[in-house]
Structure 1
Amino acid sequence: MILFRYLSREVFTAMAIIAFVVFVIASGSRLSRYLSDAATGALSGELIGWLLLYRLPGFLELILPVSFFLAIMLAHARLHVDNELQVLNSAGFGEGRLIRLTLVQSLFVMLLTSLIVFWLRPAAELGIQEVKASQKSMTEFDLLIPGRFQVLNSGSRVTFVQSLSEDQLLENIFMTERAVNDLSEDAKVVTMVAASGEARLDASGDRFLVLQDGRRYRSVSGGKAHQVIVFEEFGQRLQRDQYDIESAEVRERSLGALLQAPDRAAWAEIQWRLSLVLMIPILVLLAVPLGRVEPRDGRFSRVAPGVLLCFLYLVLLSGARSAVTEGRFPVMPGLFSVHLGFLILAVILLNAGEKSLNWFKTKRKR
């Protein structure tokens, strides 16, 4: 029991550090994308926090197995480097018992991953759909940022507003839009400048941006036509936002709903969720032989090959998932064929001696 607590502390401490680093990198990349979209007005800044929160289970379902795999490699490699495993072997504690203890540790990670993939992530996907609906309900007026040029209306319109008062009154507005003439297919550019503007609802419930005290310039490429209109009020219908938030309907279904809809996409999703749990004990069996390092090699000598092997595992699972969904691979064995292949590889590595694993070593500079 003392040894189990010692190994568990080593493994889970390393796992927490690795998971935190990977999560910061992954969420930072996603956050930078959302901030960039919010800066251009394509995404409401109020939704960024909710999007990151709902993306969290999707990050963790992949981060937990990978970080646990790397933590086992590093913890076991330290036992080899510090010659602690040799002492344990002399006391009758062989690699078989070490594997059993590590598999017991994996039960906690499997339980946590199961909670995420079968409950938290489907609930989070529903949350993403709600955020998506909220974003779709917004108009260009809701996304305007004073003092900044913004590309709106799917990239065809550039808008600038100098200020926005507390009562939602716009001041000093500039808008230019490039469209296509339906008859001549010539490029048409419409530019409007106005002293002020505000959003209004008509009788049908549509929102309009009403510009006041301004001019409308209409021109066609090649100088074929040019028109200037001076107006006191000019109304323009506000389009609903077209920003696309990545989501998939099949991911938001519960396990029961997936079992009641036995189509290929549903079966692929079921197998994917099961795979993220089943891969954990297989990764344990892979990590133990990869953790066999010589003291002079250092505990990090096989981290790079281990990362590549884990990455290959996930890529093959993802590819098999797509193949099952698209009908290019049978539902059975489906994703389980990938697990079988890596299980066979793990058994081979476990039965291989230290010399047979030399090709996993990272060459050191001399």
Structure 2
Amino acid sequence: MIIGRYLIREITAPFVRVLLILIVLFATYSTADLLSDAASGLLSASSIAELVGLKLLISLEVLIPIALYIAVVLALGRMNGDSEVTAMLALTIPPWKIFGSIVNVSVMLALAVGVLSFFGRPWAYARLHEMAGYAAVTLHTDAMEPDTFYVGQHGQRVIFFARRDSPGAPAQDVFVQIRHEDYTQIISARLANPLQGGWQSGVSQVHLLDAHVYDIARDGKTTDQVVDAGDLILNPNTDRGPGADYSAVATPSRKLLGSTGPADIAELQWRLSTPVSTILLGLLGIPMSVSRPRQSRYARFGTAILAYFAYYLLFTSARTWVQHGVVPSVPGIWWVPGLLALFLLSTLVKPLIALMHGPRPA
């Protein structure tokens, strides 16, 4: 039991460090990608944290397996380099004890990945689609910059103004075009002031001074209208966006079970296969950690990373092939983890023999 706990601790310690590093890198990249939308008024600053959190939740089903894989490679590589494995074998500790500790950690993490993939993934994607639909019909006017055309709502809304002293300051020489169902509305104004407190109530309102409103009919029959107003309150956002299209990634897992659509089948198989991949990648770290005497403990780290990227690329490609009907639902994407399982069966005997007999001769 002492040896088992020690082995688990040697794996979990680098696993936590690697996972935290991957989370920080992913969160930093996602935040930088969203900052441009926030700066252009397409996304509120308060939404960035939620969007990054949702994307991070989705990515954990990929980050956890690779963190486990790297942790096993690092832990066993260090133990081999420090001759700890040789000392354990000299104390008649059976090789399956080391093998079993890795399996235990892999199974526990596979259960967590399964919950994330089966339940957290569709919920996070559904929330992302909901926020994307809201962003399509809302615009943060106080963050807009001059001399820029802001196009939203699938081209139904265009906003432009010539000058502004600072963010939140009144905009000058404003132009707004809003396409309604049967007419196009064009608004020009000398000044525009975003009203404070509008976002708390879910409405973005703008106070226009010296405004001119033109309602232009598109059917060619209705009379056009022109209105001049000294003061005008405008909400450049529609009440709701267009209906969201169906998405397999945002569909609850229970609804995918009886579906025959290729996209649904690929998505369901992906969710079911991520725990399997977690276990297989944990075991793949065993042969990837075996090195020759006097060889650096990290000598095979580069090869291990290449092996992971090859597996992940093939795995995601298989999902795409099933989505587009190139590969049928049977074997679906299962042939990729199947190949990895066959590789492990053919290679695990070799490192186990190496564990039993110590380092191989140069």
TM-score band by shorter chain is 0.7 to 0.9
Partners of 1:231 and 1:41 in 2: CA distance: 26
Match in the other structure for 1:19: 19
Match in the other structure for 1:337: 335
The aligned amino acid for 1:276 is: T
CA spacing shift, 1:34–1:9, aligned 2, 3 Å: same
Contact 2:174 2:191 in 1 (8 A): no
Partners of 2:159 and 2:329 in 1: CA distance: 47
For residues 198-219 of structure 1, what are the alpha-carbon distances to aligned partners after superposition, in whole Å with 9 as ceiling and x for unaligned? 68xxxxxx99866323799xxx
How far apart are 1:310 and its partner, in Å?
1.0
Q: TM-score, normalised by structure 2?
A: 0.76
The aligned amino acid for 2:74 is: L
Contact 2:65 2:282 in 1 (8 A): no
What does residue range 1-366 of structure 1 map to in structure 2 within 5 Å?
A: 1-138=1-138, 140=139, 142-145=140-143, 150-154=148-152, 157-159=159-161, 160-162=163-165, 171-175=170-174, 194-196=190-192, 211-213=208-210, 232=230, 238=236, 240=238, 249-352=247-350
How far apart are 1:294 and its partner, in Å?
3.1
Q: Tell me the secondary structure at the aligned position of residue 191 of structure 2.
A: strand
How far apart are 1:137 and its partner, in Å?
3.7
For residues 68-115 of structure 1, what are the alpha-carbon distances to aligned partners after superposition, in whole Å with 9 as ceiling and x for unaligned? 011001101111100011111223334333212211121110111111
How far apart are 1:333 and its partner, in Å?
0.8
For residues 143-172 of structure 1, what are the alpha-carbon distances to aligned partners after superposition, in whole Å with 9 as ceiling and x for unaligned? 33266655411596543544687xxxx734
CA spacing shift, 1:126–1:207, aligned 2, 3 Å: closer
Contact 1:255 1:270 in 2 (8 A): yes
Partners of 1:275 and 1:50 in 2: CA distance: 27
Partners of 1:24 and 1:260 in 2: CA distance: 38
Q: Tell me the secondary structure at the aligned position of residue 37 of structure 1.
A: helix
Contact 2:174 2:192 in 1 (8 A): no
How far apart are 1:325 and its partner, in Å?
1.0
For residues 254-310 of structure 1, what are the alpha-carbon distances to aligned partners after superposition, in whole Å with 9 as ceiling and x for unaligned? 221111323211111111012211012211331101111235222221111111111
CA spacing shift, 1:248–1:92, aligned 2, 3 Å: farther
Contact 1:125 1:247 in 2 (8 A): no
**Percent identity, aligned pairs only?**
22
Partners of 2:43 and 2:98 in 1: CA distance: 51
Structure 1 residue ranges, 4+ long, deviating more than 6 angstroms after superposition: 233-237, 241-244
* Between 96-105 and 269-278, the greater mean CA deviation after superposition: 96-105
CA spacing shift, 1:162–1:338, aligned 2, 3 Å: same
How far apart are 1:242 and its partner, in Å?
12
Q: TM-score, normalised by structure 1?
A: 0.75
CA spacing shift, 1:92–1:198, aligned 2, 3 Å: closer
Contact 2:102 2:283 in 1 (8 A): no
CA spacing shift, 1:247–1:25, aligned 2, 3 Å: farther
How far apart are 1:19 and its partner, in Å?
0.6
Partners of 2:46 and 2:34 in 1: CA distance: 11
Give the paired residue count.
320
Partners of 2:331 and 2:159 in 1: CA distance: 51
The gaps in structure 2 that reach 5 residues or longer are 178-185, 196-202, 214-227, 355-362
Q: Tell me the secondary structure at the aligned position of residue 210 of structure 2.
A: strand
